[in-house]
Amino acid sequence: MKSIFPLLALLCLLAMAACSQMPGGSTQAIIGVSDDWDSSHVTLTMVEKNKAGKWQRVLGPFPGRLGRNGCVWGLGQHQNPRGATTKKEGDGRSPAGIFRLGGLWVTHSTPVQHDPAIPYVKVGPNDLWISDPRLPHLYNQHLRLDHPATTAWEKHEQMRQTDYPHSIKLLVHHNTPESVGKPIVGAGSSIFFHIWRRDGAAPTAGCTSMSEENLRALIARLKPDRQPVYILLPRSEYIRLRKSWHLP
């Protein structure tokens, strides 16, 4: 009779892979930890794997702000708990979980130092980000018109032109084509890192914000070939999931 041990070993490996939520090959992460699900305050740290395969802190910790109502499970690289409440458009919460990072969207007059491999969009009056559920094929995606936004609808969907906190934005792949294939209409759109408002005295609508100095430092260190991710969790969840999700 053939030994069952090879089969058991395979099953164990498959189980471990199912539990691991960190994308394979990711060696750079921004970690956001809040006090609880309803807190709009977050502590941010950037970590990288060294040559020995150990995670080490390279930036932070420093303060940031989340959505005005805290955070809630989002759609990214992780698997949400069964029956969990998830992000909805307009709920005032930041998506929690593990998310890949995307390109830069900038109106700031001072150039943003970044790796050339990171897509860089100089935002202008033709640029929209679609949150309208009536356009499911475009929901949570960038759209560049062949003319400046003029109609009421175009103005509503237009990316902000003169708002300092939104002058530097780093895309978080929550509910994007890159994270879920086809974005789920109503599950939340336009999630970015951006500069905080009123020097951190104000929360966001669902993004993660921080000082301009710290945002520029994070962006300058990002390396796409290290497959960076954003990990956002309340402290109790981070502690609970750290081992099974193989978190830094």
Number of domains forming the structure of the chain: 1
Quick check: is 166 in a domain?
A: yes
Other CB atoms within 10 Å distance of the CB of residue 185: 17
> Residue 240: which H helix or E strand, with range?
helix 235-241
* 71 in a structural domain: yes
Q: What is the pLDDT of residue 8?
A: 39
Closest CA to 65 of 198, 247, 218, 175: 198
Domain extent, residue 106, equals 5-241
Tell me, yes or no, whether 246 lies in a domain.
no
| Share in percent of the chain as helix, strand, coil (round to 5) | 20, 30, 50
Return the pLDDT at 12.
38
Q: What is the pLDDT of residue 230?
A: 98
What are the Cα distances from residue 11, in Å, to 5, 6, 78, 169?
A: 10, 9, 20, 42
Is residue 185 included in any domain, yes or no?
yes
Per-residue model confidence (pLDDT) at position 22: 84
pLDDT values of the chain reduced to their tens digit, one per residue, 248 residues? 444 444 433 333 334 344 458 888 899 999 999 999 999 999 999 999 999 999 999 999 999 999 999 999 999 999 999 999 999 999 999 999 999 999 999 999 999 999 999 999 999 999 999 999 999 999 999 999 999 999 999 999 999 999 999 999 999 999 999 999 999 999 999 999 999 999 999 999 999 999 999 999 999 999 999 999 999 999 999 999 999 999 99
C-alpha–C-alpha distance, residues 101 and 32, integer Å: 14
Structure tokens at 132: 């309208």
Q: Is residue 104 part of a domain?
A: yes
pLDDT at 1: 43
Phi, psi of 233 (to 5 degrees): -150, 150
* Backbone phi and psi for residue 168, each to the nearest 5 degrees, phi listed first: -135, 120
Is 60 within a domain? yes
Per-residue pLDDT, 110: 96
In this prediction, residue 18 carries a pLDDT of: 43
In contact, 67 and 89? CB cutoff 8 Å: no
Q: Let me know if residue 247 belongs to a domain.
A: no
Distance CA 220, CA 191 (A): 20
* Structural tokens at position 202: 């104000």
The radius of gyration of the chain from alpha carbons, rounded to an integer in Å, stands at: 19
248 found inside a domain: no
Residues 26-77 pLDDT 10s: 999 999 999 999 999 999 999 999 999 999 999 999 999 999 999 999 999 9
What is the predicted pLDDT for the residue at 15? 40
